[in-house]
Structure 1
């Protein structure tokens, strides 16, 4: 009998929990998950999931751990390590956190937001296939282990190491076939970066602006003429910079082809959307400001692109985070 592929998901928050649930329903894989702040709840009672796409359910992971090391001792080695940690390079190195689970045959799959997230993994694991994946999904952990998901889930991914061989492409396809069998739309692209920048149109604008606004939903921001203008001008910088960096146009997911269509899309969403940076700020947790703002600013300097709105947003969100405990 063919052995099932072993998948370790590191990070059991909203993204990790939702995709672990879908993947665990496939007969082709065995899923383990590493949780941190919600470990006790997930270990005892699992996840309670309210999904507009998949319905309501309880997901009780068979293999849930407090650390990567514990997971490796019990269930390793792993064919895939999916990184669903927040990308906080100013706080920790995500590549270091998964190191114990990465063997010679392990494929590393990044489910992280932001720009420039791949480089620490390339440096630490130069001989492992590295997949950069972009998730287009609205999911929030409202309470520990309590997930609310919208009506859509899509993954776009591609091998970041362009020198990898055909068997790595086959291995990625096997993983995504398992996701697709459980209702997750999947696309494998030769160049994933335009999709990463596509998602960044919303991430790089609504996230920091919502923090500065002090708690507004995305819909509330676009309903205010001044804030809408700020968002669209910030988005215009992302469009311009992303096209210079990638040398390509964006793919237009959700019909977002310019700043106006992006704010129109936000306005069309029927339920209030609160950004992840806003939630982190309200809980006085570190925000993903470096991968969302600092890294793109560094690329702008490299390519000679003017990004005054990004610079202002980075300065203000940095001050807000540094002022948590004053």
Structure 2
């Protein structure tokens, strides 16, 4: 096996393109799977305007059309990164990488938001290591091949494990950590990655859904309005309660109210308007990630006997308004 890492990225929006650029910088051979932006990326790659890394052009070593993936099913990839939307209510997300996984040695890296996103991959690829990640990257795809990136570029991660998962060597984590550092990506091996997922979900569930339902308000506008801010805070409290019950431990060591206040304060101090990806999906008439961000937590709450009236209300309204647009 070559010492050069062979990497595939499925889903090349703002997150996938930024990481692809960093991995190529670290010396890896980087292939990408594109859908609507295939022709543009194939022709000229990605232009990335980054406050952290400067302006660069990322030309993938191979650009694959999502419509023609069968031609590449014999290639071995060290890592397959998944940065697509997680829409298990629409189709099995794991099928997107099925043509590219031909060895149990390929490490699957999930760059998706939500709870339960790992399950489809664990079922379809029971022998492959799966790294569950929480992504901290402030990037936006402003045109099909143009990415605007700020200063954040961080991954928190660890193995996803289930009752049927084999035991994987910690060497995998150490090698991944070393590679991310070579790529100048902040790397954090989290001792409890599911707790990190719930912490991010608290904000995503509140901000994303309420932004959509408020008619498209940005985070600062929602936080400055007493009614929408109260609703966001109460929604986050519900998520904290569900996460606590599911994991059998508090999501934070200190005060929940201090954590909620930190989320609100952060968006209030941002110099530019911040909009959630769920809003962009709604505006462009694409399916929203309400299954993994709202519905899966509701289902887990019911099993844990935790009341979630706000999450249920938000979910019902999102389903209703989405149904009239798709």
On whether the aligned pair clears a TM of 0.5, the verdict is yes
Residue matched to 2:57: 58
In structure 2, the residue corresponding to 1:258 is in which secondary structure? helix
Q: Does 1:89 align with 2:99?
A: no
Query: Residue 72 and residue 158 in structure 1: after superposition, are their counterparts in 2 closer, same or farther (change >3 A)?
Result: farther
In structure 2, the residue corresponding to 1:65 is in which secondary structure? strand
In structure 1, stretches of 5+ residues that fail to align are: none
> What are the equivalent positions in structure 2 for 1:96-115 lying under 5 Å apart?
96-102=95-101, 103-115=103-115
Residue matched to 1:275: 276
In structure 2, the residue corresponding to 1:77 is in which secondary structure? coil
Q: Does 1:36 align with 2:42?
A: no
> Over aligned residue pairs, what C-alpha RMSD do you find?
2.1
> What are the equivalent positions in structure 2 for 1:1-326 lying under 5 Å apart?
2-27=2-27, 29-67=28-66, 70=69, 73=72, 76-102=75-101, 103-161=103-161, 164-165=166-167, 167=169, 169-250=170-251, 257-324=258-325
CA contact (8 A) 2:73 2:99 kept: no
- The structural deviation recorded for 1:164 is 4.3
Distance across 2 between alignment mates of 1:171 and 1:75 = 23
TM-score (norm 1): 0.93
- The structural deviation recorded for 1:198 is 1.2
Distance across 2 between alignment mates of 1:106 and 1:311 = 38
In structure 2, stretches of 5+ residues that fail to align are: none
- The structural deviation recorded for 1:74 is 7.8
Distance across 2 between alignment mates of 1:302 and 1:190 = 25
In structure 2, the residue corresponding to 1:219 is in which secondary structure? helix
Runs of 4+ in 1 over 6 A off after TM superposition: none
How many pairs are equivalent?
321
CA contact (8 A) 1:68 1:98 kept: no
In structure 2, the residue corresponding to 1:304 is in which secondary structure? coil
- The structural deviation recorded for 1:266 is 1.4
Distance across 2 between alignment mates of 1:251 and 1:139 = 27
- The structural deviation recorded for 1:161 is 2.4
Distance across 1 between alignment mates of 2:49 and 2:273 = 16
Distance across 2 between alignment mates of 1:161 and 1:233 = 31
TM-score (norm 2): 0.93
CA contact (8 A) 2:73 2:100 kept: no
* Deviation sequence 1:91-141 (CA, Å, 0-9, x none): 111111211111221111111011111111111111111111110121111
In structure 1, the residue corresponding to 2:306 is in which secondary structure? coil
Query: Residue 74 and residue 312 in structure 1: after superposition, are their counterparts in 2 closer, same or farther (change >3 A)?
Result: closer
Distance across 2 between alignment mates of 1:307 and 1:76 = 46
